[in-house]
Structure formats: C-alpha cells, structure tokens
Structure 1
Amino acid sequence: MVKCQEDMKRHFQRITSCLRSDSNYPGLGLSHGNSMTVMEFYKGTEHNIDIILYDRKLVWAFVTDSGTVRQHCFVATAKRMPSYLPYDQKNRITDTAFRSCIAIGLTDGLFNVEFIWTSNGPKLLEINPRISGYVLRDWLQKLYGIDIMVYSMMVACGIKPTIPELTTNKILMGVMVMPSLHAKLLTEDHCKQKLFQMIENDAVFFLQFRKLKETLSHYEVPFGNVAVTGTTSDEAKQKLLYVCRELGIDQEDYRVEDFIQTF
C-alpha cells in the first residue's frame, strides 16, 4: 500500500530491483515481466467467483470468500467455502463477473474474477484466465466430489459441460501457512508428527502448494493451507482457531482470528 507519489516510487524501485525475472522468484508470474499497476485501495470483504463460459453463455459459477489480507503485500491469509454472502449479493457479483469477462473478450473457458464488496457494492480487483489458485480445486473435490479441472478441459475441447447442482451441509475454512513463520510444520519432528496425527484423525485437511526454500524472500507467498470443516461458521472458526494454536500457526504477528473475522 502506498499513500503518496514519493512512497509509490520508493516501493516501485525496491520491488523491481529484486524481482526482475522468474529466476528471482519462480511461480510468482515474473516470466511475463515485472511491470505493475497502481490501483485504488478498496475497503471491504474479498470474494472470488470462478465461472465457466461456453459460447458466450454462463454455464456455472461458484463464489468463495477470502480473509483479511496480510500487510504489507496483500498476501492471502484465509479461505472459506462455500461463501457466506446472501443469495442476492452472490447473484450480483456473479452477473458482474460474467459481464466483465464478456466485455474483455473472454467467451469460452474457466475464469477467476476477484471482487472487493464495499459499502457501494462490488469493486473489481482482477480477472484471471484460469481457475482460482491455492485451494479451490481440492476443496471442491472434498466438499462436492467434482473436479473442476475436468470441466475446464471439456470446454477447451469444445464440449459444453453439464455440472450437477452442488449442495452441502458443511463449511470448509482454512488458513495459509507462510515459510518464514510456519516452516516447522514440515521441518521439526514434533510439529510434523502433530500435524500428521491431525490429518490421520481427519481433524484437519492439509494442502501443500510448493516446496519450502532455504532462502526466504521479503515477498514470500504461502506454501500450504491448513483447513477444518464445520456445520456452522462459529463451529468452523472455533475448530480452526484451536488447530492453529495447537500447531503454532497463530502467532503475535499472524493473528488467525483477525483473518477470519468476517467469516
């Protein structure tokens, strides 16, 4: 976040001096260059809409929620599936996502659109020509038994997918784990044993996105996600907080309760 032009220039120079190409931080998207866009900061809650379009028509849409981002780099912290948004708000951002994709020429495929829901309604953050990152595919498989990648491949092959109605009485809620704070989950024996025991007892659902690196970057991204299921928001929150405190994920400078407060 920047507050003035001088602040913006300082951050720009610092970022571009150390993040120049994909070799500086593989997987961050730097193979496409390190140009950046400055945009207005919106206050509100963050929501992801993954949609399937076929022949300019909306085939399927699914809304998930993101927790309060971690400053200083707006790093993802927490996820919830399905969304807590009321029906009318989900319909509104789904329609807005659909119209946004069509407006820029995205007519066939699976796309991810991110919004901030502000006091003045939804504000567009970004449109990605892919499914959501991190947990979406695995969580959809766990909660609903569908593989969203199959549908993406069907559209790519010119086949219009038929997707069953998705219903569940469970909520998945999880928090991201960061290399500088939570590497012990996979490197220290007693922490690893506690995590694996929770996994074996079906107390947590753990996903690892990338290997841990010995050298850490100022612009680090999550290496995994620890999640729990619940039948209500309160139950899932309490279970997640308990797990995060037991595993040492919840820390003074990584307060899980703050990340999931809107859930």
Structure 2
Amino acid sequence: MRQRGLPTPKCYHIMDFADLEPAGQHVGFPAILKPAFGAASMGVHKVCSVQELVDTFRAVRATMDVHADTIWSQGTDLLLEEFYDGDEFDIDALMSKGEVVYVSLSDNWACWEPWFQETGMNIPSLYPVEKQEELIRFGSEALHALGFTDGAFHVEVKYTSRGPRLIEVNARMGGMCVRDANLRTWGVDLVEEHIMTALGIPIRPRKPPKPLVCFAQAAVNAPYSGVVESGDWLEGLNKYAHCKLKRYLVAAGAKVIGPEDGMPDWVAEVIFEGPDVAELLEEMREAVCGLPVPIRPCREEARRGWFFPDFAYPFTRP
C-alpha cells in the first residue's frame, strides 16, 4: 500500500516477550495490541506504555487457548499497531474481475476502551456524504493495492484528523450480522455473490438508490463479571415494533467476564429495523439502556448499568 501512495499504520510483528520492547520503540504509544489472526475484535486492546504492553500481552496470550477456541489454531502471534483517532467504519465490498462492483459503508459504534469489543453498528451511515465518499474511495484503493480481484471483502477504516486510514482488510465477508445488514438494507446477498465469483461467474449486483430499510444492531457487552441469573431478560423488547431480533448469547447460570477482568463478553444481540436510521438509534438506545442487568456480580463494587456509546458518533454527529 505504501508503494501505491496510500497511508499505512506503523506496525510490529510480536511472537514473544523479546519483541515487546522493540515493538514499542518502533510503533510508539498509544498503540493497539491485537492478534494476527482471529475475528470480532477478540483480544484487541489499547496500550499506553511499555509496562502496559507487557501486562496486556501476558493477559491476551493467556486467553489464546486452542483447546478453548479453535480460531487460535491459525496462530497466536500478535501485532502492535499505531493507534488512530477518529470515527470507525466498515466497508463491505464485492469485487469481480479486478473491479469493485459493490460497496456499502456502515457506522461502527464506539468501543469500551481499553478493550475493543464491538458494541454495535448501523447502516446506512450518517456521516457527511463527502467523507463517506472519501472512505469508500480509500477502501477501494486499498483492495486494488493489495492485489485482490474477486470475492467479498470486509474493510475496516477510520476517518481520522489526517483523513481516511486503514485498520485492516479481511479477505472474506464480515461476521455477525453483516450478511443480514447488506441483504436487508440494499437487497445484496454477499454470500450468493461471493459464491458466484468463486465459480468464475462475473457479478454486478444492483444497489438501489435508497435503502430498502434502515438497520441497527447492538452487541450488548457484559457490564461486569458475574453469573447470569435470568433467561428472559430481553422480553421487554417486545413492546418495540422496530425490534426484529433479540438473541441471547449466554444462558442463565453462565459466568460472564466484564471489563474489569478482561475483554467483556457479549451477552445479547439486538437488531432494530425502520425507515429512519437516526430515529432508529434513539429508539435502540432507550430500549437497550432500559433492560434489566441479569447478572449477579462477582464483586459487588463492580456493579453498574449497561455500557452504551451514546457519547460518541453516530449518537453525536459532526
């Protein structure tokens, strides 16, 4: 990418403790420590000093157990990467015969730092149109620079004080609700289109001029460590007509991790659909923040309400 004139983050490959000091010297602080392999922001953490890098490396490595989660069979190396300010976005793209034939930009909600567990997203984006165009152009240039030609891609970017910057390119469709979000909002099935490219069939999906529906998803983080005491705590969402999915990700009796002990566990997924994305976000904030917290804390002093990122974009807009 640098050879193509595109900005790239400072980065250092970490295989063991011996790599930590030179990594910190090369990248600087603050920085992002992240697994070289994985998904869904697992193990991603902001670090602000060498000592914090050492402590966090030790904590993250301890969670990378192949027997507990086979995703780590790909490898347990980590990366230290330059931290970017600004708002975060996902670009879902389809390529056919070397051409980007479909793009969709979605807003990512702010994470519960220093962990970077995902908290939610919405599509279409509420960002200023000219900045959306910059991000989409940058994402397309990144795909071409890396030599990709066909298939589905999930490009993670930020709009920083220095303009668009790349977080990472995933040479696959995005996870969780990404397929549903694109299918519901734009009528484009990323799985179908990707399969056709794998079979050598050219694709050119038609994206409507306006969204078919607006889509918002909340990935509800455990606010503290403890034991889930209820199996029906999402039922209060039934009164919201725009609530299309409520999914329990942990059962009653399960132990969950909160941010005081590590990357917070997801405890539920909630999806709202409606005609106006801004109104949808306000309704979802009311709905999620009004849910009871069904967790008996391990330590009473850790008890708190749900984390909801209404202090940041897209809930506050530029």
Query: TM over 0.5, yes or no?
Result: yes
User: What residue is the counterpart of 2:315 in the other structure?
Assistant: 261
Shift of 1:23: 2.3
Shift of 1:108: 1.3
Conserved in 1, the CA contact under 8 Å of 2:124 and 2:277?
no
Conserved in 1, the CA contact under 8 Å of 2:102 and 2:207?
no
Superposition RMSD on alpha carbons, in Å?
2.9
Larger radius of gyration: 2
Matches within 5 A, 1:129-148: 129-148=171-190
Instruction: Say whether residues 1:11 and 2:56 are aligned partners.
Output: yes
Matches within 5 A, 1:233-252: 233-248=277-292, 252=305
CA gap of 1:193–1:91, structure 2 versus 1, over 3 A, is closer
Distance in 2 between residues matched to 1:134 and 1:106, nearest whole Å: 23
- Larger mean CA deviation between 231-240 and 251-260 belongs to 251-260
Opposite residue 219 of structure 2, the aligned amino acid is: M
Distance in 1 between residues matched to 2:72 and 2:197, nearest whole Å: 28
Conserved in 1, the CA contact under 8 Å of 2:109 and 2:309?
no
CA gap of 1:206–1:73, structure 2 versus 1, over 3 A, is same
Distance in 1 between residues matched to 2:229 and 2:200, nearest whole Å: 42
Shift of 1:133: 1.7
Shift of 1:211: 5.7
Instruction: Say whether residues 1:177 and 2:239 are aligned partners.
Output: no
Conserved in 2, the CA contact under 8 Å of 1:184 and 1:192?
no
User: What residue is the counterpart of 2:272 in the other structure?
Assistant: 228
Shift of 1:4: 1.6
- Deviations, residues 82-129 of structure 1 (Å, cap 9, x unaligned): 112233322222222122122223221111111111111011101101
5+ residue gaps, structure 1, are none
Opposite residue 308 of structure 2, the aligned amino acid is: R
Opposite residue 31 of structure 1, the aligned amino acid is: S
Shift of 1:184: 9.6
Conserved in 2, the CA contact under 8 Å of 1:63 and 1:83?
yes
Distance in 1 between residues matched to 2:235 and 2:284, nearest whole Å: 18
Conserved in 1, the CA contact under 8 Å of 2:122 and 2:277?
no
Find 1:188's aligned residue among 191, 214, 231.
231
Conserved in 1, the CA contact under 8 Å of 2:92 and 2:173?
yes
User: What residue is the counterpart of 2:244 in the other structure?
Assistant: 205
Conserved in 1, the CA contact under 8 Å of 2:225 and 2:255?
no
Find 1:33's aligned residue among 75, 83, 94.
75
CA gap of 1:95–1:234, structure 2 versus 1, over 3 A, is closer
Matches within 5 A, 1:65-84: 65-84=107-126
Opposite residue 35 of structure 1, the aligned amino acid is: D
CA gap of 1:5–1:183, structure 2 versus 1, over 3 A, is closer
The structure richer in helix per residue is 1
Distance in 2 between residues matched to 1:184 and 1:8, nearest whole Å: 30
Distance in 2 between residues matched to 1:114 and 1:48, nearest whole Å: 5
Instruction: Say whether residues 1:21 and 2:100 are aligned partners.
Output: no
Distance in 2 between residues matched to 1:172 and 1:194, nearest whole Å: 20
Distance in 1 between residues matched to 2:144 and 2:221, nearest whole Å: 36
Shift of 1:173: 2.3
Q: Secondary structure at the match of 1:37?
A: strand
Shift of 1:7: 1.8
Q: Secondary structure at the match of 1:258?
A: coil
Q: Secondary structure at the match of 2:256?
A: coil
Distance in 2 between residues matched to 1:252 and 1:243, nearest whole Å: 13
Q: Could you tell me the percent identity over the aligned residues? A: 20
Q: How many residues matched?
A: 255
Conserved in 1, the CA contact under 8 Å of 2:120 and 2:218?
yes
